Amino acid sequence: MDVSRKRAKACPDDGIADGGAKSPTAAQQIAELQAELERCKTEHDQMVSDLKGSYSGALEWAYSVETIPRDYWLEKGHTEDYVGAMDFFLEQFKHTIKKLRTGDEVCGRIGINIAFRLQDEEGCRVNGNHDDALMPYWSELANAIIHWSEYHANRETLGLLFYCIELPDAVLDVLRPAIKQSKVSHVGFIDDGSSRTWKLAKIMEDIIQTNLTVTRVGFTSVMFSNEEWKTMCNAIRIRNAGQASNMQLFQLSDSFDDGMNTEVLKEILTSTTASGDKEVVVRLDGNRMSSQEAPIIAEFLASNPSIAELGLASNRFDDADAAMLANSLSSNTNLRSLVAGGNDAIKLNGRLAFLRALFDVTSLVSCAASNHTCQVQGLEQDISALNEYDDFSINKWEKVFTMLALSSEDSFINTALLKDVPVSLMPVLLDQADAQIEEGNSRVTDLYLELTGTKRNQRHDDWDNSEQTRKISCVFELVRSWVVPSLYV
């Protein structure tokens, strides 16, 4: 404002600014502002009109879509239970479309479930078959997804899960453009029941490469050929190499009847490795993996890839495989969670291999060199109390002081274990003593006692229940062990 005022005083009559350029008059400025206002009003009116049209169109569809009579399904040979499940499926389908159109309670990674829910007498899932009568629903769903992304998404993203409903090429052709252009972050498929002539693998390859909002992809009981899996992995690898938006989740569960092909396994693991500090989750549950795949996974983990969680539940790994995986954790500082439950052949020895990798009580040095980042979860005898903090330093010092305290026989801290600790590290030890977590974790104590073959006694209970006195007691014992002997020199 100061500059413009000075120019106006210098040239009150000629209307010429510095450099000979003609300054806009007040009338011109008003005209430009009015034009801008009209443009904004037109855009606003158009948006309101689009919304009204969309809402009215959705309502018109909801009330005009032809109800599929029960006899229609019965005449096709379906049971009464199937017909009941289909009726419920279509009602939920309409409700989902309404939510997308109105923006009602739709947000997060799993926002929309298109699920056909029916079980047979043995408790197995029954898939919903496709029928041409369902096409209007799929078309309206695609339109509603686009509408939600344009008018309701704001900063949210949408999750789409298709559960036990057949998705032939005709349906995928309708959904593909909608998912490609919308704010969808998670796409999942569970037991679709389609034949192998479908386009799903190719479509997902396209979506992964073109829609950078999609960062989480999952398949459960979905069978692709090895080449199709490799193609999808390559799409993820190309996507991650771009570094613009890394894939955060890749799930393949119950998708290999005869065990996972080793080449496909290598493709899956290497393609999902992201750059930078991106945390990636890979879930390979229920794929009948065993001793053939264990060395590949162990070698991969030992290379310290940028994977935060690896799901290996419900496979066929045994104690030897567990030991191999446990050994790989010694050089891994990125993995935060290894889910190993449901591997019935992992018994006591396999569990102990994992336990020792996380909490080596041979010496303070070995304890400090243990893995302090990864939680091993799902084992029958739980060891997930170890490394439960996000800060690996807290995990490390919790183990160190647990070992110092629980190995002592006549004092609060077993200072005899410190004889090989360099003097230069003593201030660090004192600082960490003052930073000890006040709440005792009896599960960590139990694991230490198991590793050392020690029976719990009152001293161990005192450590678990020390609470507010834990810090001061640790500090006092350390200072006393260093200072008191010098008084008698």
464 vs 285, residue with greater confidence: 285
- Cα gap 237→31, rounded to integer Å: 54
Same domain, 428 and 375: no
| pLDDT confidence tier of residue 245, bands split at 50, 70 and 90 | confident
pLDDT of residue 483: 58
| Domain assignment of residue 481, given as a range | 397-488
Same domain, 374 and 256: yes
- Cα gap 371→396, rounded to integer Å: 8
pLDDT beyond 80 at 19:
no
Q: What is the mean pLDDT of residues 246-265?
A: 89
Same domain, 382 and 461: no
Last residue of a domain, one of 361, 390, 419: 390
**Span of 9-13, 111-115, 264-268, 391-395 with lowest mean pLDDT:** 9-13
pLDDT beyond 50 at 219:
yes
- Cα gap 101→484, rounded to integer Å: 76
Same domain, 272 and 415: no
Same domain, 341 and 454: no
- Cα gap 360→366, rounded to integer Å: 6
Sign (positive/negative) of CA torsion 292, 294, 297, 300?
negative
- Cα gap 84→400, rounded to integer Å: 60
Greatest C-alpha distance within the chain: 101
Same domain, 435 and 478: yes
Q: Rounded to 10 degrees, what is the CA torsion of 450, 454, 459, 461?
A: 30
- CATH number of the domain within which 168 lies: 3.80.10.10
pLDDT of residue 462: 82
484 vs 83, residue with greater confidence: 83
Distance of CA 423 to the CA centre of its chain: 43
Same domain, 302 and 329: yes
pLDDT of residue 18: 44
Q: Total structural domains in the chain? A: 2
Same domain, 267 and 159: yes
Name the phi and psi angles at 426, rounded to 5.
-60, -45
Q: What is the mean pLDDT of residues 5-14?
A: 39
- Cα gap 241→217, rounded to integer Å: 17
Exposure string for 202-241, b = 16+ CB within 10 A, e = fewer: ebbbebbbebebbbbbbbbbbebeeebbbbbbebbeebbe
pLDDT of residue 9: 38
pLDDT in tens, 63-115: 567 788 999 999 999 999 999 999 999 999 998 998 888 887 665 555 899 99
Last residue of a domain, one of 362, 390, 418: 390
Same domain, 310 and 194: yes
447 vs 28, residue with greater confidence: 447
Same domain, 315 and 228: yes
Same domain, 430 and 342: no
**Count of beta carbons in the 10 Å neighbourhood of residue 59:** 12
pLDDT of residue 46: 58
pLDDT in tens, 366-389: 999 999 999 999 999 999 999 999
Q: Is residue 262 part of a domain?
A: yes
Q: Is residue 281 part of a domain?
A: yes
Last residue of a domain, one of 355, 390, 425: 390
